[in-house]
Amino acid sequence: MHIYWASVYKLPQSTIAEIDKILKRFLWGHSDNVKGKAKVAWKYVCTPEDQGSLGLKSLQEWNEVLLIKQLWKLIEKKNSLWFNWVNLVKLKDKVKNHVYESDDGVVKSVTNSGKKVPYKTSQVWEDMRSVHQLVHWHQVIWFPQANPKHAFILWLIKLDRLTTQDKLAKWYPNLTFKCELCGNCEDSVKHLFFECNFSRMVWTELKKNLLFKGLPGDIQGIINTLARYPFRNQIWDVINRITVAAVAYHVWQERNNRIFKGKRRNANEVLMIVEDGIRMKLASLMVKNSLQVKRAAEIWGMQVEMGRLKLGIGASI
């Protein structure tokens, strides 16, 4: 609904702020009764996935892009008072940077590179949105078969934005913290993934089911290593990535369950949950009857039938 109004009016800043507030609460799990700080700045959240974020659109920037589209439709009436008022007062004369009328009367848009192309809202958006440096690891986290919950946690891990005990120790220097999984030291992203004895056992066992030799023992090294290889939508590209994200998610979930709910599972139970989740994800995929798919089915205790991976005899779940 707000997109419709954004294409018709210049939304008040207070309205944009209120909508952004609702989106932030949803993303970070806050409410009127539950307060907390955002783990990642909203401006960074509203950048594309290949620049290391979630790919959300900034409503303020999108509002301006949609209004430029309306002005483009009225460009032939560019001498009208309304056109000039919106362009100069509301959009701060931004239209001239993105729209021009050629000698033959065809209205086109201008890209940031100076190239004149047929007008497209998507092109104006690319020119106007906030730009950050491209990252090489985005396809390790964001890819078509990714589990959104798992990918979100892995994204926060990559940015080191989880609220771990090493951060809490800076806020509460008089308190003593111990990792809930192993009890040896305070937890941190580096410790939990996978210096901790608990998480290292889960990861070590799952790594046996990956046809990827030489993966590092720490999560940042694992992500950076996988990022060196392009995502080709092949079965082992998918398995490697969903396995890393699934282990990270369930280790973090187990840590939080012990702290906030008093529930405990041992490493073997967590390992079985992760394995079952991966099999269920694989069972949802359409696959080719290739040698690599057959090999994956054999390792994960599954069978290839009619373009699907199905649970084999003896597989859990």
> 232: pLDDT confidence band, cut at 50, 70 and 90?
very high
What is the per-residue pLDDT across 191-223, written as a single tens digit (0 to 9) for each? 999 999 999 999 999 999 998 888 899 999 999
CA distance 226 to 207: 13
Q: How far is CA 212 from the centre of its chain?
A: 24
Q: What is the pLDDT of residue 317?
A: 46
Least confident of 8-17, 137-146, 225-234: 8-17
- Percent of residues in the chain assigned helix, strand, coil, to nearest 5: 55, 5, 40
Residue written as tokens 């989106």?
A: 23
CA distance 21 to 233: 36
Is the per-residue pLDDT at 181 higher than 50? Answer: yes
Give 107's contacts (C-beta < 8 A, 6+ positions apart).
Answer: 72, 75, 76, 99, 100, 101, 119
Q: What is the pLDDT of residue 5?
A: 73
| Pair of tokens at residue 166 | 């090493």
Q: Which pairs count as long-range contacts for 203-208, CB under 8 Å and 24+ apart, including other chains?
A: 203/247, 205/271, 206/243, 206/247, 206/271, 206/274, 206/275
Whether the bond between 194 and the residue before it is cis, its omega within 30 degrees of 0, is yes
Positive or negative, the Cα torsion across 90, 92, 96, 97?
negative
| Pair of tokens at residue 107 | 């209205």
Please provide the average confidence, as pLDDT, over all residues in the chain.
85
Contact in structure between 119 and 107 (CB atoms under 8 Å): yes
Is the per-residue pLDDT at 11 higher than 90? Answer: no
| Whole-prediction pTM | 0.84
CA distance 162 to 39: 7
| Pair of tokens at residue 280 | 């269920």
CA distance 163 to 71: 46
Q: What is the pLDDT of residue 147?
A: 96
Is the per-residue pLDDT at 167 higher than 80? Answer: yes
Task: Kindly state the average pLDDT of the residues 84-97.
Answer: 59
Q: Which of 234, 211, 77, 238 is nearest to 145 (CA)?
A: 238
| Pair of tokens at residue 23 | 């989106």
Least confident of 9-13, 56-60, 292-296: 9-13
